[in-house]
């Protein structure tokens, strides 16, 4: 079932896919409606919700909001691709239904792409909201605007969440959009790597969205294997001359993952040793504005949570 209008093509399309999260969806949709300074459309794909989601959506009269409902659940890759097919904007964002945009986010991000026609995407900073723990923070992100290729950082293990990113719509279509629902929740990483292979992106220091961490987020037990599959798919497509460097970046990323786990389990000395191995393996990546602070925060955060848990018990 589709509802849409014949309004003029907007500058930005926001795609939200949703399934049984009506309470959070309302805040997410409202955050898009409040955007000013840029023409936009919002496409909401209801992926066969069994709550009151579709009833609520069907009552919306806003002419910039277009709807589609799947009668059977398809998971978010296919749902996002449906939104991509419907998109009329020059730029596109895939916003998760449990997150929300900050004021003027679409204007800021789209202006950056207008000013940098050779960039394929733009990434703003995110504000992390930990609902179970009851605290919030600004996640690691550059403090000044930059334009660069981010493939090395993506291969290492860094990534950004959907609502931080605004892409050129034709670029996302040219790489085939999202694929293989079995890769969820790593399909964003595969898309990002494909985009990064095509050129540079803009990094904006401003916070553009809030990302909600909550108990309803499911993470498969084999997520590390999925990440490896995604990375190695990209590595196999690289020129032979660059594959060795890419494989070393992946090894360093795995070492950091192991270090984080060791910090969580109460083995800080082993964690430090693993970090040292990673630094010796690929020292250059740790000077990246995307990696250094991000790694330090992850390690210290795990150490702090381990200490707090020990104090409580």
Whether the per-residue pLDDT at 312 is higher than 60: the answer is no
Expressed in angstroms, the distance from the first to the final Cα of the chain is 53
H or E element that contains 230:
helix 223-237
What is the C-alpha separation between 37 and 120, in angstroms, rounded?
A: 21
Question: What mean pLDDT comes out for the span 134-158?
Answer: 95
What is the rounded CA–CA span in Å between residue 90 and residue 118?
A: 14
Angle between helices 240-264 and 223-237 (to 10 degrees): 160
Lowest mean pLDDT among 42-46, 141-145, 221-225, 290-294: 221-225
List, for residues 162-218, the tens digit of each pLDDT value: 999 999 999 999 999 998 777 778 899 999 999 999 999 999 999 999 999 988 777
Cα–Cα distance measured from residue 56 to residue 62, given in angstroms and rounded to the nearest whole number? 13
Question: Radius of gyration of the chain from Cα atoms?
Answer: 20
- Please tell me what DSSP assigns to residue 115: H
**Percent helix, strand and coil across the chain, each to the nearest 5:** 50, 20, 30
Tokens of 13: 């399309």
Q: Which CATH class is domain 2-213?
A: alpha beta
**67: which strand partners?**
3, 44
pLDDT in tens, 15-53: 999 999 999 999 999 999 999 999 999 999 999 999 999
User: Would you say 230 and 210 are in contact if contact means Cβ atoms under 8 Å apart?
Assistant: no
pTM above 0.95, yes or no: no
| Residue 212, number of CB atoms within 10 A of its CB | 22
Q: Looking at residues 116-144, what average pLDDT do you find?
A: 95
In the block, tokens 């292979």 appear at 197
Q: Compute the average pLDDT of residues 102-129.
A: 98
Report which of residues 122 and 264 the model is more confident about.
122
Q: Measure the CA–CA gap between 55 and 143, rounded to whole angstroms.
A: 42
| Rounded alpha-carbon distances, angstroms, from residue 196 to 188, 204, 238 | 12, 16, 12
Give the CA angle between residues 36, 39, 44 to the nearest 5°.
95
Q: For all residues of the chain together, what is the average pLDDT? A: 92
Provide the pLDDT confidence category of residue 2 given band limits of 50, 70 and 90: very low
Percent of the chain clearing pLDDT 70 (strictly above): 96
How far apart CA 198 and CA 195 sit, in angstroms, is: 5
Spell out the domain ranges in the chain. Answer: 2-213, 240-312
């Amino acid at each position: 079932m589709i509802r849409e209008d014949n309004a003029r093509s907007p500058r930005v399309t926001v795609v939200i896919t949703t399934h049984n999260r009506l309470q959070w969806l309302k805040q997410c949709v409202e955050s898009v409606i409040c955007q000013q300074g840029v023409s936009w459309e919002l496409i909401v794909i209801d992926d066969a919700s069994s709550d009151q989601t579709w009833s609520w959506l069907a009552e919306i009269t806003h002419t910039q909001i277009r709807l589609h409902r799947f009668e059977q659940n398809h998971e978010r890759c296919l749902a996002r691709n449906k939104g991509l097919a419907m998109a009329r904007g020059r730029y596109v964002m895939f916003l998760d239904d449990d997150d929300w945009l900050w004021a003027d986010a679409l204007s800021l991000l789209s202006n950056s792409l207008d000013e940098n026609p050779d960039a394929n995407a733009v990434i703003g900073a995110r504000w992390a909201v930990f609902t179970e723990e009851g605290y919030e923070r600004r996640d690691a992100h550059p403090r000044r605007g930059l334009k660069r290729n981010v493939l090395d950082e993506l291969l290492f293990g860094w990534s950004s969440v959907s609502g931080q990113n605004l892409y050129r719509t034709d670029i996302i279509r040219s790489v085939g959009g999202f694929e293989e629902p079995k890769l969820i929740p790593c399909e964003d990483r595969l898309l990002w790597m494909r985009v990064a292979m095509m050129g540079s992106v803009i990094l904006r220091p401003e916070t553009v969205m809030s990302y909600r961490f909550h108990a309803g987020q499911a993470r498969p037990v084999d997520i590390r294997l999925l990440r490896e599959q995604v990375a190695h798919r990209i590595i196999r497509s690289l020129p032979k001359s660059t594959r060795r460097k890419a494989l070393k970046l992946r090894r360093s990323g795995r070492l950091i993952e192991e270090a984080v786990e060791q910090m969580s389990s109460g083995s800080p000395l082993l964690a430090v040793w693993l970090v040292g191995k990673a630094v010796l393996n690929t020292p250059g990546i740790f000077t990246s504005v995307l990696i250094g602070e991000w790694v330090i925060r992850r390690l210290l955060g795990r150490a702090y949570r381990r200490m707090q848990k020990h104090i409580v018990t």
